[in-house]
Structure 1
């Protein structure tokens, strides 16, 4: 496989048509090699427009979804970012190039170890990977400028929103199949949050988050 041609095709045919037009984001997608964060068994599919299986219950987000969430978060160099659902570390690596510091939580011990190894191999120095559930965030390190949920949840817990700075943003994929939407929630005041729906998609669930209660009659 010609990796550079496959990467170019991914960016031009999948990611750019999904309104990922920020040139700094597109450049990072060329620099941070996605295939280096894909398990060996699926490396040939690293550039395919689909989620990739990581464990029995976890999947790596599709390239265009990763890129769009990353772009819309608009991380700045002075900011501290919390990622929930680090998986194998690819999005954390992207964030590391934009943020001052990234803390990535991963509930699966095996994935957390993979993320640490992948980030070390890539020379990333400003990301800390912690093997822990992310539903409660990380109160010891709050407030955050930005929080990214790298997978879907039924709803965003208020405890996470409360860990944002005023002006801080949280990006997440919310809902249940077949209807999920990527949303951006901005803390505009001490007790005031604004939600903007960005795009429809479907993504694998993050572990540890409560599901919406089922209706009973």
Structure 2
């Protein structure tokens, strides 16, 4: 970054480095890469941490929460395959970054955040970025959003100890959910769940470490 604070050129170069890093980690879907290229990560970072906007580390965003490193966000989005779907449900809005990425690929994004102040900040960031196809709500989220179900895609941005059945029931036939399942203190398994009529097919895709997403605490992207 340039002396005296980051500028537009610095961010452009840093974003190009992010795309290269994602490719090296096996993220090859051009639509996902385009979303990361066109959504400015720096818009979703608190001012005091702007110099670290493109480092692969989590950063505080308030309410005891943090924004997850972009590469981990990509690990969750790649198996979700949200491009071109009608409705996506995200549980855990946080800074609003992952919802903004989803909004570049899906027609409508519903996102639920437990903390009202984070939800308001995310809304302001989407407006600043000119993103208009996100509907943000305040709740704990793990019960889903039955009034808008079914959803073609569901993304959980924090870990759960077990698959939340009430939430998964809100998947449309052929729909996909992605979440991290496991104990809060350990690495969790990234699980992809596809609904086929009344059956749910689970695939384990690797490990990640996310803080728990629960009625008492929300870990967000």
TM-score (norm 1): 0.91
Deviation at residue 209 of structure 1 after TM alignment: 6.9
Tell me which stretches of 4 or more aligned residues in structure 1 moved more than 6 Å: none
State which drifts further: 55-64 or 98-107.
55-64
Would the alpha carbon gap of residues 148 and 174 (structure 1) be closer, same or farther in structure 2, given more than 3 Å must change?
A: same
Distance 1:74 1:136 in 2: 23
Counting only pairs closer than 5 Å after superposition, residues 1-217 of structure 1 correspond to structure 2 as 1=1, 2-13=10-21, 15-176=22-183, 177-190=185-198, 192-208=199-215
C-alpha distance in structure 2 between counterparts of 1:163 and 1:87, whole Å: 22
Deviation at 1:18, TM superposition (A): 2.0
The higher relative CO (CA closer than 8 Å, separation ≥ 6) is in: 2
Query: Contact 2:156 / 2:178 at 8 angstroms: preserved in 1?
Result: yes
Pair 153,55 (structure 1): closer, same or farther in 2 beyond 3 Å? farther
Root mean square deviation, CA, Å: 1.5
Alignment match, 2:6: none
- Tell me, yes or no, if the aligned pair for 1:59 and 1:204 is still in contact at 8 Å: no
State the distance in 1 between where 2:182 and 2:57 align: 19
Give me the whole-angstrom Cα distance separating, in 2, the residues matched to 1:130 and 1:43. Answer: 26
8 Å Cα contact 2:31/2:83 also seen in 1: no
| Number of residue-to-residue matches in the alignment | 208
Deviation per CA, 1:143-185, whole angstroms, max 9, x where unpaired? 1100000121212210011000111111111112322111111
Distance in 2 (alpha carbons) for counterparts of 1:168 and 1:88: 26
Unaligned stretches of 5+ residues in structure 2: 2-9
